[in-house]
A and B are shown apart, each in its own frame.
Chain A
Amino acid sequence: MKRIFDAQLIGPFAAMVIVALIVAATTDRFLNPGNLSNLFLQVSIVALIAIGATVVIFAAGIDLSSGSMVALLTMILAQMLKFMGLPLMLALPLILIVGGMLGLCLGIITSYGRIPSFITTLAALIAFRGLALTFNNGSPIFSLDPGLEPIFYGKLAGIPLPFFYLLFFYGLAAFIMNFTKLGREIYAVGGNPAAAVLTGINVRKVQAITFAIAGFMTAVGAVLMSARLNSGSPNYGQTLELQAIAAAVVGGASLAGGRGNILATFMGAMTIVIVQNGLNLNAAPSSVQNIVLGLIILLAVGIDMWRAELSALLSSLFGRTALQKRS
């Protein structure tokens, strides 16, 4: 357990708590139980997609495609449920497989085709949105399946189901990253690809797998998106890819690869959603929300770039006590 809950969680956790305290100070509705449970529903889609975004970043790649892929996958799911009459229990695994395969394709183009992932997934970001518009003449498809909405709004023992999805997928991701050969190889490839080659790690395969994971998690997010609105639309998922990357970076994942803790990504996603929630509760217009999201992304990348200076500053303030506690 020490391996999973390490010092890398301190900063993102502190950021999340500070943001929550600020929002709580501006409005008393924030700590209302209804709002808090709503928060979990809100964060779930971004946070699940951010798992994939983070794994790709660990291997020193970047995935910009997830927002458009969500739109495409909700349209494919809608098509399957509404027009092809597939049962839900068949359509759901199929859509997860389609997501994984799309991600794998992007990964193969990136690693074996030697096209930088920024370009591959930027192209996919544009193309997937277009592909989503080819279904149903570009119109949204509504009222897909009565069994769909409970996937998002259902509860178990009074707790919203998305909480369990988060628990399951973050638990699985933390296990893979910390206790498996694949996880170690992902960190190795991101940390030093040249050294990884010379230690016999199949660098290209590992890179391709990270994109397959990202595609799969995007599909999980797309299913929740469809379930939440019982529909598919080519307009879903705008800027989701950036929110997912922002969550990873606010969580401390280094864009240079090799460093970061997957659980911190959840805290990063929470931080972003709490800020958005705070703006909502204070009735800020959506224009302000976009500006704030932009600033958060800038700040997050800034934190990544100024890491050395900031950690020197932080350790001079409270780092010493944190280290003492660990030893």
Chain B
Amino acid sequence: MMSETTPLWEFTNISKAYPGVLANDQVCIKLMKGSIHGLLGENGCGKSTMIKTLSGVQQPDSGQILHEGKEVNISGPLAARDMGIATVFQEFSIVPTLSVGENIFLGNMPRSRLGVIDWRKVNSESARVLGEMDVDIHPEAITGDLSVGEQQLVEIAKAIAMDASMIILDEPTAALGEDEIEQLHQLLRNMRSRGTAILYVSHRLDEVERIVDEVTILRNGRVVSAAGETEINVSEIVSAMVGGDVGEHYPKEHNTSDEVVLRATGLKTKQGVSDATFDLKRGEVLGLGGVLGSGRTEIARALFGVDPLTDGSVELGGSPVRFRNEMEAIRAGMALVPENRKTDGLFFNFRASGNITAASLAEISKLGVLDLAAEADGTERLMKDLEISAQAEAKTVNFLSGGNQQKIVIARWLFADAQVLILDEPTQGIDIGAKIAVYKLMNALTRAGKSIVLISSDHDELLAMSDRVAIVQHGAIKRVVNANDLSHDDLVRASADPIGHASQEQVAS
């Protein structure tokens, strides 16, 4: 028999390295029955890596895993399921075209003696689980027709239906409204009282404060505060998350002039921008700060002509503009470096040259014929200036590191001589050396009189590399402050407070 103090799961000295990054460095976590354990830390701190290890998606390089005191090996997601681990990932793993019942029992359908799916059981069991959760969703409803919040609840129903002894929730409330969050929390409390171990990962510190029993905080892949070492309140958690090493590797140059290049007034779109007003000066980096889903990317899309404006106006270089699509924005000197360089940025069928000149084909061609010499010269110069690996021109760009790939995407806009660049998470998933290279590139851009709108979930980076920061909540810019006047704590708190009453009213109006 296991004693009361033996953890259900104990992960000891888990390490995991990716090329160029040590994502988890000797991480230890103990998960107790009937306890909600918060796993916290900023983007890139190693949370996702830890979740992947816990759920069997990947194997750690070293470390020990104990299940009820016995050493085990979680060889894959199926093995994890057999050991009672259910994971609700940030991206849903439900099939939208199937019914709720089918999703709940996906991969584990109850069958009759003849081996045929026992639909009566699928539906009655689903109804039982949903009823236990006190959720009003019909088992035969098509999952894709449900609201995002309800789909999230179906995900959780899957975990409950498989009788998981441990459930991992990765940002479970990112898509939920306030009522749905409360419903989810009540559900988690019920599960806790039944002895389920729950690992809760979230950016929203205020709700963490409300629900968790203990927290483990990660920074740069290491545990900086183990369970019991930190009091569970927002300011204690923030100071542990942030630590004392802010601003060391940020070579920020200030190149702001007085000339306003871009002025946005009262922008509104159907896609989630409710009120965005700001100006951008020549040589300035304006940071957009806010949590996931706060509307930063949507503001970028509105500026770039992807989503049509329903209200408000944009002035570029003193004259009013209204872009109907990306092509018009690019012709006017705007550029968007997308968050996901693999799906939206790079042409993997091209070498560096084809990628770098892709936005300037009209400029390097006469009567439709490309000037290949000009292309080669420009590419060579940029590859040298930006220290892009020579491999980039020898093969197609899929063989390159994330840092080199990102440099190529930015080089495209240097070649195109864009005046205003929107950088959406420009350093996501690249190692620290390449990050510094991207920061230097931003300096070079502003020195040359270009202006940058920077979107980043890395608060240190946002504060250090921006001249001013606009705080975005619910698609609205709440205020614009000098980056120097804003402390890291202020920013984390301001952006991690999406359910404050003031912002609620803002949405309602």
Residue positions of A touching B, CB distance < 8 A: 3, 179-182, 184-185, 187-188, 190-192, 194-202, 258-259
Contacts and interface: CB of A to CB of B under 8 A. Distances in A.
B338 A198 contact: yes
Interface residues on B, range: 20 to 34
Contacts of A202: 327
Contacts of B347: 187-188, 191-192, 195-196, 258
B350 A180 contact: no
A188 B362 CA distance: 14
Nearest to A260: B349
Contact of B349 (A185, A190, A197): A190
A195 B368 contact: no
A184 B368 CA distance: 10
Nearest to A192: B347
A182 B365 CA distance: 10
Contacts of A3: 372
A200 B331 CA distance: 8
B346 interface: yes
A180 B326 contact: no
A191 B326 contact: no
Pick the 8 closest A-B CB pairs, nearest first. A200-B330, A191-B349, A258-B349, A199-B359, A191-B347, A181-B365, A199-B358, A194-B344
Interface of B: 326-327, 329-331, 336, 338, 343-350, 354, 358-359, 361-362, 365, 368-370, 372, 412
Given A180-B368, A194-B344, A199-B359, 18 more contacts: A3-B372, A180-B365, A180-B369, A181-B368, A181-B369, A181-B370, A188-B350, A191-B348, A192-B344, A192-B346, A192-B348, A195-B343, A195-B358, A198-B338, A198-B345, A199-B412, A200-B359, A258-B349
A240 B82 CA distance: 53
A198 B349 contact: no
Given A179-B370, A179-B372, A181-B361, A195 B327 contact: no
A199 B409 CA distance: 10
Nearest to B336: A198
A3 B351 CA distance: 12
A191 B358 CA distance: 12
A178 to B, nearest CB: 9
A198 B349 CA distance: 16
A187 B347 CA distance: 9
A197 to B, nearest CB: 6
A198 B412 CA distance: 11
Contacts of B350: 187-188, 191
19 contacts: A179-B369, A180-B365, A180-B370, A181-B365, A187-B349, A188-B358, A191-B349, A192-B343, A192-B344, A194-B343, A194-B344, A195-B344, A198-B336, A198-B345, A199-B412, A200-B327, A200-B331, A201-B327, A201-B361
A114 to B, nearest CB: 15
Q: Which of B330, B336, B358, B368 has the most CB atoms of chain A within a 10 A radius of its CB? A: B358
Contact of B330 (A188, A194, A199): A199
A197 B348 contact: no
Contacts of B369: 179-181
Contacts of A196: 347, 358
A164 to B, nearest CB: 23
Contacts of B327: 200-202
A179 B361 CA distance: 11
Contacts of B372: 3, 179
A179 B331 CA distance: 23
B272 to A, nearest CB: 19
Contacts of B362: 181
A59 to B, nearest CB: 12
A201 B327 CA distance: 7
A180 B346 CA distance: 20
A30 B344 CA distance: 51
Most chain B beta-carbon neighbours within 10 Å: one of A196, A200, A201, A259: A200
A192 B338 CA distance: 13
A259 B396 CA distance: 11
Most chain-B Cβ atoms within 10 A of its Cβ — which of A187, A188, A191, A199?
A199
Nearest to A256: B349
Contacts of A179: 369-370, 372
A177 B494 CA distance: 52
Contacts of B348: 191-192, 258
Contacts of A185: 361
Contacts of B344: 192, 194-195, 198
A182 B343 contact: no
Nearest to B338: A198
A267 to B, nearest CB: 20
Contacts of B361: 181, 184-185, 201
Contacts of A191: 347-350
A236 B331 CA distance: 47
Contacts of A182: 368
| Most B-side CB within 10 Å, residue of A182, A184, A187, A258 | A184
A201 B361 CA distance: 9
B375 to A, nearest CB: 9
Given A181-B361, A188-B347, A197 B370 contact: no
Contacts of A188: 347, 350, 354, 358
A198 B358 CA distance: 10
A195 B358 CA distance: 9
Chain A CB within 10 Å, residue with most, of B350, B354, B412: B350
Contacts of B343: 192, 194-195
A272 B202 CA distance: 59
Nearest to A182: B368
A190 B329 CA distance: 22
A181 B362 CA distance: 7
B345 A195 contact: yes
Nearest to B341: A195
B395 to A, nearest CB: 11
Contacts of B412: 199
Nearest to A3: B372
A181 B338 CA distance: 24
Contacts of A180: 365, 368-370
B359 to A, nearest CB: 4
Contact of B370 (A184, A190, A195): A184
